[in-house]
A and B are shown apart, each in its own frame.
Chain A
Amino acid sequence: DAGVTQSPTHLIKTRGQQVTLRCSPKSGHDTVSWYQQALGQGPQFIFQYYEEEERQRGNFPDRFSGHQFPNYSSELNVNALLLGDSALYLCASSLVSGNYEQYFGPGTRLTVT
């Protein structure tokens, strides 16, 4: 049973550029959440997708956007990158019926220079 997968593993971008991160949920899961984990911090909730709609959003600017596809996979897009966007981006999947139990992927390490 494949767990949550994310791509790419690492990414280096320049300030002002745009980036797209991808996530495939655990088999059978229908809900995807994205988190930003800065160095030395706990994960911060960005947003959650269910049925291809943004279900809930954390305190992140509109530069952060997402999408969920019919196969439940998801993308996180960040526009106009800032140095402060450098972080580990984690994707977590769950079942909407048991949403409190989230399974995390290995993350994408984004470095903005």
Chain B
Amino acid sequence: AQSVTQLGSHVSVSEGALVLLRCNYSSSVPPYLFWYVQYPNQGLQLLLKYTTGATLVKGINGFEAEFKKSETSFHLTKPSAHMSDAAEYFCAVTDASGGSYIPTFGRGTSLIVHP
């Protein structure tokens, strides 16, 4: 079984400040890891993913995440927050066994950006 824990249901930052959203996972097999963003009244948009290879993954809108196997973490960062980054962020884990790739999502972290 796999699971995802997102630390902090809300994260508040000032515009221009560093964004750090935390995600820890558990998986019995090597995981595929994802971050999605959801704007109000919209579906989920893939920000970035880790499958294999380089552990530092760059995504859209200046976000990046680093897969740390020893810490079972996949934290999302952005050097400088913009007002348009305010949204709900979901971390998800899936594994490649069986070929079904069904993701398990965390409960989400709401990013609030203050001017």
Do A and B form a real pair?
Answer: yes
- Indicate whether A24 reaches chain B with its CB closer than 8 angstroms: no
Question: Does B56 belong to the interface (CB within 8 Å)?
Answer: no
Contact B32 A106 (CB under 8 A): no
CB within 8 Å of A: which B74-115 residues: 90, 92, 94, 96, 99-108
In the A-B complex, the 10 residue pairs with the smallest Cβ-Cβ separation, listed nearest first, are A42-B105, A104-B43, A100-B101, A104-B44, A99-B101, A106-B43, A56-B100, A100-B32, A105-B43, A43-B105
Find chain A residues with CB under 8 A from B26 CB.
Answer: none
Report the contact-size class of chain B (Cβ under 8 Å from the partner).
20 to 34
B27 proximal to A (CB < 8 A): no
Contact A99 B108 (CB under 8 A): no
Partner of A4, one of B43, B46, B101: B43
A55 contacts which chain B residues (CB < 8 A)? 100
Number of A interface residues, CB 8 Å? 25
Cα distance, A100 to B51, chains bound together (Å): 9
* Residues from chain A with Cβ under 8 Å of B92 in the complex: 42
Chain A residue at minimal CB-CB distance from B105: A42
B70 at interface by CB-CB < 8 Å? no
Using a CB-CB cutoff of 8 Å, which residues 37-53 of chain B contact chain A?
41-46, 49, 51
Contact status B108-A45, CB under 8 Å: no
B94 and A43 contact, CB distance less than 8 A: no
Interface residues in A72-113 by Cβ distance below 8 A to B read 90, 92, 94, 99-107, 109
Taking a contact as CB atoms under 8 Å apart, the answer to whether B107 and A40 are in contact is yes
User: In the complex, what distance in Å separates the CA atom of A55 from the CA atom of B9?
Assistant: 33
Most buried by B among A4, A100, A104, A106: A100
